[in-house]
Homo-oligomer: A and B are copies of this chain.
Amino acid sequence: MANADSNDRRSVVVLLSGGLDSATVLAMARASGLACHALSVDYGQRHRWELDSAARVASSLGAASHRVVRVDLRAIGGSALTGHAAVPKGRTEPEIGGGIPATYVPARNLVFLSIGVGLAEVVGAAELHVGVNAVDYSGYPDCRPEFVGAFQRAADLATKAGVEGRGVAVRAPILAMTKAEIIREGVRLGVDYSLTRSCYDPDERGRACGACDACTIRRRGFDAAGVPDPTDYAEVGSD
């Protein structure tokens, strides 16, 4: 147990959106015995319900702390997720992942990873864990492995931690996994996916639309994993 003991003394920051990918990343880090400081960003997203999910996920998986940092990306605009443009619905391949969609938020992961590295410096965490995924994804450029590598170099040069040689290692443990693989790993680790939300355009009660890219990718993931989908979909109509 020397390794586990060593891990117990390590802490990491985990970016937690409230969706299923980052919930799985948190569960993986917790299963490795890491103390996890969860970090969510309130960036003016129309699907603010995901912040409520993030808090529940952080609690259920035993995060050491959970912070919500406000970043007003609405002041920049340029995205269906922070403005009034329509969220695309009913798309399948090759549309999904075949280009950068209207739900792209300019510089989102640059901003999120930057804040994550900043928090890691402050709490003395050696690593920042992020749930970016480049397989079953929406075609966002800032979810690709080459971005994560380039960001790592910029962060090492930008930070006191980097200058002092203890850096903050950016980890993307589900980068190359399919959505089905992610879900199966999460189920194995006890993630309660009913607490997570992926939908970009939930109704006023927080129920998923079932038709946006995020819902489509999520639904197919559960289907491919052979796991019952616990999502509360609006169009199914629970009452």
- Bound-state CA distance A142–B142 (Å) is 21
Select from chain B the residue with minimum beta-carbon distance to A71: B71
A110 touching B163 in the complex, CB below 8 Å, given contacts A70-B70, A75-B69, A77-B122: no
A122 and B144 form a contact (CB under 8 A): no
Instruction: Return the CB mask of A116-143 against B: 1 if under 8 Å, else 0.
Output: 0111011000000000000000000110
For the complex, is A104 an interface residue (Cβ under 8 Å from B)?
A: yes
Instruction: Return the CB mask of A8-48 against B: 1 if under 8 Å, else 0.
Output: 00000000000000000000000000000000000000000
A118 touching B141 in the complex, CB below 8 Å, given contacts A67-B75, A150-B153, A157-B146: no
Interface of A is mostly: helix
For the complex, is A100 an interface residue (Cβ under 8 Å from B)?
A: yes
- Bound-state CA distance A70–B111 (Å) is 13
Which B residues are CB-close (under 8 A) to A110?
110, 114, 117-118, 154-155, 158-159
Select from chain B the residue with minimum beta-carbon distance to A150: B154
How many whole Å from A213's CB to the nearest CB in chain B?
A: 16
For the complex, is A76 an interface residue (Cβ under 8 Å from B)?
A: yes
- Bound-state CA distance A111–B160 (Å) is 15
How many whole Å from A16's CB to the nearest CB in chain B?
A: 14
For the complex, is A106 an interface residue (Cβ under 8 Å from B)?
A: yes
For the complex, is A88 an interface residue (Cβ under 8 Å from B)?
A: no
How many whole Å from A163's CB to the nearest CB in chain B?
A: 5
Give the interface centre of A100, A108, A119, A159 by most chain B CB atoms within 10 Å: A159
For the complex, is A173 an interface residue (Cβ under 8 Å from B)?
A: no
